Copies of this chain bind each other. A is one copy, B any other.
Amino acid sequence: MNFCSDNVAGVAPEIMAALVAANQEAAMPYGNDQYSQRLDAKFSELFETDVVVFPVATGTAANALALSVLVPPFGAIYCHAQSHINLDECGAPEFYTGGAKLVTLPGADGKIGATDLAAVLARAGAGVVHHVQPAAVSISQVSEAGTVYTPAEISQIAEVTHRHGLHLHLDGARFANAIVSLGCTPAEIAWRSGVDVLSFGATKNGAMAAEAVVFFNKQLAQTFSYRRKRSGHLFSKMRFLSVQLEAYIADGLWLKNAECANQMARKLAEGLKKLPFVRFCYPVEANEIFIELPKQASQGLLDEGFGFYPWEEGENLTTVRLVTAFNTREEDVTRFLEAAQRHCGGVSQPELTTNR
């Protein structure tokens, strides 16, 4: 029962089958295979517009490479203070851009707002030689708080972004979960909302290791292939990346997988809401749940062998993150809830009067 992350799940059977099938014959390397060659067309269909797509193997590579074509070495990237690119990629955006700066914004529920962004950009010193130059905005969909930007929210951010001459990047490590949550089309929260470049994640939702960098603004893609090669992200046996992406978006697999993860998170959240002493940090809108619960309950669950990450430790309370995946089963959720009920039920009120 592992709710640590959606990346603890393995490979979806459909994708593993596609990998095996793609192994039947020889294929030309470095993207000159049939799977890679037809990827632009497949993604153009998916997004209802002409796109250029580059497969890479990790989300960090997707994000850092995407940003590297948007931002000069003396540029600034505006992002949420809690964003993955800012906190969890060991400086990959800085490395790939040659030293650009991530300028962080606060924002409720893990999301930045268009008004705050506009205020920051108005004072950013564009054109003044002493300051890093505004170049890109990057938002995460699903956000680091497990919340989802609406198409309207993205459009507003995009409007501010483009008005100041910047480009908009969307880190879609959990893009499928957002689509399912919003019940919209991929186009709607991508280029129709003003996104220029998308890191389209598949790994967390059933691929082995595959992400697609999708360019809606094709002009921006010109130097991407050189940058991918020199960073070691051009695979010789590229077909095995491309076929994962193909299988992932074929026959709605990606949405089916995300639907399962989101549904299990919903069930989990519903159950947790009924428990005493449990407080939700953010709305549950996709497949991640952040809750505060009594320290001893958290410890008890870990001791029983349930997997999840303590996110922050207070004096009496622990904030934990629970993530469901494409293959989370209803019985896993039920068992967890039963155990949580047991552990939270045993907590006495007085212990919880103080916290960090």
A: which residues have CB within 8 A of B? 2, 4-5, 7-11, 16, 19-20, 22-30, 56-62, 64-65, 72-74, 87-92, 94-95, 97-102, 129-133, 203-204, 208-209, 223, 225-237, 240-241, 307
Contact = CB atoms under 8 A, between A and B. Distances in A.
A245 to B, nearest CB: 14
18 contacts: A8-B29, A19-B19, A28-B307, A30-B129, A30-B130, A58-B234, A60-B229, A61-B232, A74-B91, A74-B226, A87-B131, A90-B133, A92-B231, A95-B231, A98-B98, A99-B99, A130-B229, A209-B235
A94 B94 contact: yes
A209 B210 CA distance: 12
Contacts of A226: 72, 74, 90, 129, 133
Nearest to A225: B129
Nearest to A130: B88
A99 to B, nearest CB: 4
Per CB-CB distance, the 10 closest pairs between chain A and chain B, nearest first, are A61-B232, A94-B99, A60-B232, A7-B236, A90-B230, A10-B23, A98-B98, A90-B229, A74-B226, A7-B29
Q: Which of A27, A59, A65, A129 has the most chain B CB within a 10 Å cutoff?
A: A129
Contacts of A20: 16, 20
A90 B61 contact: no
Contact of A237 (B2, B97, B208): B208
Contact of A57 (B19, B60, B204, B209): B209
Given A89-B229, A231-B231, 19 more contacts: A2-B26, A5-B29, A10-B23, A10-B27, A10-B237, A11-B237, A28-B307, A57-B209, A58-B233, A59-B236, A61-B233, A62-B232, A73-B91, A74-B91, A89-B232, A90-B229, A91-B100, A91-B230, A94-B94
Contacts of A60: 229-230, 232, 234
A242 B233 CA distance: 18
A23 B8 CA distance: 10
B95 A230 contact: yes
B73 A209 contact: no
A130 B236 contact: no
Nearest to A61: B232
Contacts of A97: 99
Contact of A92 (B28, B95, B230): B230
A237 B203 contact: yes
A88 B131 contact: yes
A325 B87 CA distance: 41
Contacts of A64: 232
Nearest to A84: B130
B230 A231 contact: no
Nearest to A207: B237
A35 to B, nearest CB: 12
Given A23-B10, A231-B231, A240-B209, A132 B90 contact: yes
B91 A99 contact: yes
Nearest to A13: B23
B91 A235 contact: no
Given A90-B226, A208-B237, A232-B64, A8 B27 contact: yes
Contacts of A30: 129-130
